[in-house]
Amino acid sequence: MSKILPHERTFVALDTTDLAHALSLAKSLSGHVGGMKVGKEFFTACGPDGVRAVSDCGMPVFMDTKFHDIPNTVAGAIRAALPLKPYILNVHASGGEVMMRAAAQAVAEAGEGRPLLIAITVLTSMDESDLQDVGVDSAVADQVLRLATLAQYSGLDGVVCSAREVEDLREHLGKDFKLVVPGIRPKWAASDDQKRIVTPAAAVAIGADYLVIGRPITGAADPVEAADKIAAEIAAGV
């Protein structure tokens, strides 16, 4: 089993274009969480220098840029990201096996200490009727399992998934396949626009490796206190 410490489970979603705000959060949360997640919003506004600056706060970075393109272009994007030394990188599994293998090969070039490469399966904003609109005639859970299985077969380390998918994926894909789970809300936090939420401890108990948590920490009056409370809840399993 993994030896991830309770506080290391959490990657804090920096959904902002404000570099100063992001850096202030990253500096104060260093040592209290596992790392920071920067997505397309932050990356488009603050670029590689922004990612480097977050990293320089001593925080592992999950670069949630969700690459999806032809294999050569995705491999090139991954190679361009490697000097930023991200802890986690991701691609869309729907880009297919050849694309994922090219991405995995590019990541492997970083050698020991390479980033984890994980896949997006079905965006949680999509339901079965959205899948049908794009020609996929499957239940969401079936399509998630199909794409996650393909990601594992193509050499990826894990997937981003919702809490409701964790048990099924863990059962089919084994204990070492990384499951990174957003939609997390401690009991004391507002649910915001998240519809299907689980607590940090419940997500870990059912088999999540890493949690992506944004507003319950970034919007708290004291983000460090919120992060510490989450780590304590995970440690206590409540």
Catalytic residues: 66
Compute the least distance from the CB of residue 105 to ligand C5P, in Å: 26
Cα-only R_g, the chain: 17
Using the minimum distance from each CB to ligand C5P, give the nearer residue, 102 or 124: 124
Q: Is 8 in the site for ligand C5P (CB under 6 A)?
A: no
Among the listed ranges 105-113, 132-140, 169-177, 210-218, the one in contact with ligand C5P (CB under 6 A) is 210-218
Q: Is 200 in the site for ligand C5P (CB under 6 A)?
A: no
Which residue in the set 75, 147, 213, 226 belongs to the binding site for ligand C5P (CB under 6 A)?
Answer: 213
Determine the Cα–Cα distance for residues 211 and 182; give it in Å rounded to an integer.
6
Q: Are strands 210-213 and 158-160 parallel, antiparallel or unpaired?
A: unpaired
Q: Is 215 in the site for ligand C5P (CB under 6 A)?
A: yes
Q: Please, which of residues 82-141 interact with ligand C5P by CB under 6 A?
A: 124
Q: What DSSP string runs through 85-125?
A: --SEEEEEGGG-HHHHHHHHHHHHTT-TTPPEEEEE-S-TT
**Residue 46: both structure tokens together:** 């603050």
Q: Is 183 in the site for ligand C5P (CB under 6 A)?
A: yes
3-class secondary-structure state, position 213: strand
Q: Is 194 in the site for ligand C5P (CB under 6 A)?
A: yes
Q: How far is CA 190 from CA 193, 196, 197, 217, in A?
A: 9, 12, 10, 11
Q: Is 60 in the site for ligand C5P (CB under 6 A)?
A: no
Interacting residues toward ligand C5P by CB under 6 A: 13, 15, 39, 124, 160, 162, 182-183, 192, 194, 212-215
